Amino acid sequence: MKDTPTAQVDELYSPQRMIAFGLQHVLVMAASPIAAVFLMSKALGFDTALTTELLSATFLVCGIGTLIQSFGPAGIGAKLPFVMLPGGAPIILFILIAQQTDLPTASGAVILSALLYFLIVPIFKRFLRYFPSLVIGIMLLLVAINLAQISGKLIAGTPGTANFGNTDNLLLALITIASTVLFARLLKGMCRQLAILLGLMVGALSAALMGDISLNGVGSGSLLALPSPFPFGPPKFDLIAALPLLLFTLISMVEATGQTIALNEVLGKEGEAEQQAQVPNTIRGDGLASLLGGIFGTSLIITSGENIGIIRATQVRSRYVTAVGGLFLILFGVFSPLSALISVIPASVIGATGLVVFAIVGTMGIDMLRKVDLRGHAAMYVVATALAVGLLPIVVPGIYDQLPSQLRLLLSNGVAMGALTAAVLNYLFIHVGQRSHKTAPLQHS
């Protein structure tokens, strides 16, 4: 029993392994909080001191959120190996609210959205039966494609800019991916499980040898960075201004559902009821972490899909490993030189590592869809239509820009739209069909 995947979620490793595996989680995903804060800083004109404070706060809240999900105190958190990160869409919405009103109103919107998680959970969990493997498989596939697109931009840069497709960046990405694959193929035991981290380190070392890493400024400034609550002043609560983030909260619940079920699939839990049982706890954990995010000046802090890819690749399923990762995130938040050191790793190296991890998430989606008979009329149309709806805003960015802002917010999220379309069509094609079949009168020949 001890060696089953389900039991491994509570497994304790030696301190050396815990540190190495926890650090692997954090370094693979470190680009997310850094990019989120730098995007906010650039868009809202923060000075260096405020940017540094917000970076520290984001790492700190992500670390606390990861501990909450890993340990799940009082039903808040799933007791699963999740790592928490700032969501890309919530950061954009935070910026838009701040630009349209002010920063205290944006922080208030985050706090209101965090509280909505707790209010909606009792209602939302009634609908979990409409998210079977068919729906979650589609969602994971769309998550992988969406995140792979983001990683591709980290590698190649933004189309139309002078640095787009820079050969040094492409070479670093190739070295990182090739090293990861070689380590996964040639190494054994613990070293094989650390293939992703080792590949990232080879990529970073190659960047240093090519002169693409500068350590200037890493040791400057104060040693400790202790963020203070409400850096923009007392929050203001405006329901109308907060509406975009409140709507995204509902989308985030759908994503949290998919991630929880997918992670339970990796952990070897069988049966949809058992896989779905921890979804409300995951959502409440997202809510508490997001509440802390609003207090410390960032946006919603949510579970990360890329974390699932790392677990699938390494087969290290222990929630105590992600708890160690949470402690690392807290250290990065408290000790400013550590976060500065991580930020010097080139985006192309982080992007290449992410590309491998996100593709693994995609294979999980494909694996879940394999359990569905796609030769059947109903399943074929559910999958085809959901992928069409979900892929459109991913492969054609900006397609909905001419629509009203609230409608654009919903339709532009390909992952959410694909999952919702799949859930609705699954209900119409399968649940309604079954009900009609059961209640139809018998035909006598």
What's the pLDDT tens digit per position in 98-122?
988 899 999 999 999 999 999 999 9
pLDDT, mean of residues 224-233 = 88
What pLDDT does residue 66 have?
Answer: 96
What pLDDT does residue 359 have?
Answer: 87
Provide the pLDDT confidence category of residue 219 given band limits of 50, 70 and 90.
low
What pLDDT does residue 445 have?
Answer: 36
Spell out the residues 6+ positions from residue 418 whose beta carbon is closer than 8 angstroms to its own. Answer: 138, 139, 142, 386, 387, 389, 390, 391
User: Could you report the per-residue pLDDT of 338-380, keeping only the tens digit for each?
Assistant: 777 777 888 889 889 888 888 888 888 898 888 888 888 888 9
Strand partners for 303: 84
Q: Which two structure tokens, joined as six digits, stand for 352?
A: 């290449």
More confident residue, 79 or 52: 79
pLDDT, the chain, mean: 86
Residue of 359, 242, 225 lying closest to 299 (CA atoms): 242
Q: Which residues of 278-314 are buried (b: 16+ CB within 10 A; e: fewer)?
A: bbbbbbbbbbbbbbbbbbbbbbbbbbbbbbbbbbbbb
CA gap 61, 57 in Å, rounded: 6
Q: What are phi and psi of 395, to 5 degrees?
A: -85, -20
- The helix (H) or strand (E) run that includes residue 428 is none
More confident residue, 100 or 409: 100
Provide the pLDDT confidence category of residue 411 given band limits of 50, 70 and 90.
confident
What pLDDT does residue 96 have?
Answer: 82
pLDDT, mean of residues 148-174 = 87
CA gap 177, 351 in Å, rounded: 10
pLDDT above 60: residue 262: yes
Strand partners for 224: 335
Provide the pLDDT confidence category of residue 436 given band limits of 50, 70 and 90.
very low
DSSP 249-302: HHHHHHHHHHHHHHHHHHTT--SHHHHHTTHHHHHHHHHHHHHHHHHTT---EE
CA gap 288, 65 in Å, rounded: 8
CA gap 258, 252 in Å, rounded: 10
Choice among 56-60, 177-181, 397-401 with the minimum mean pLDDT? 397-401
What percent of the chain is predicted at pLDDT more than 90?
36
pLDDT above 80: residue 6: no
pLDDT above 80: residue 300: yes
DSSP 157-201: --TTSTTTT-HHHHHHHHHHHHHHHHHHHH--HHHHHTHHHHHHH
Spell out the residues 6+ positions from residue 42 whose beta carbon is closer than 8 angstroms to its own. Answer: none
What pLDDT does residue 279 have?
Answer: 92
Provide the pLDDT confidence category of residue 394 given band limits of 50, 70 and 90.
confident
Provide the pLDDT confidence category of residue 160 given band limits of 50, 70 and 90.
confident
What pLDDT does residue 296 have?
Answer: 95
Number of residues that this document lists for the chain? 445
What pLDDT does residue 439 have?
Answer: 39
More confident residue, 383 or 250: 383
Choice among 55-69, 99-113, 173-187, 298-312 with the minimum mean pLDDT? 298-312
Strand partners for 301: 86
pLDDT above 50: residue 335: yes
Provide the pLDDT confidence category of residue 438 given band limits of 50, 70 and 90.
very low
pLDDT, mean of residues 432-438 = 53
Provide the pLDDT confidence category of residue 176 given band limits of 50, 70 and 90.
very high
Count CB atoms within 10 A of the CB of residue 238.
17
CA gap 288, 300 in Å, rounded: 10
What pLDDT does residue 444 have?
Answer: 39
User: Up-side HSE of residue 173: CA atoms within 13 Å toward CB?
Assistant: 20
DSSP 98-165: HHHS-HHHHHHHHHHHHHHHHHHHHHHGGGGGG--HHHHHHHHHHHHHHHHHHHHHHHH--TTSTTTT
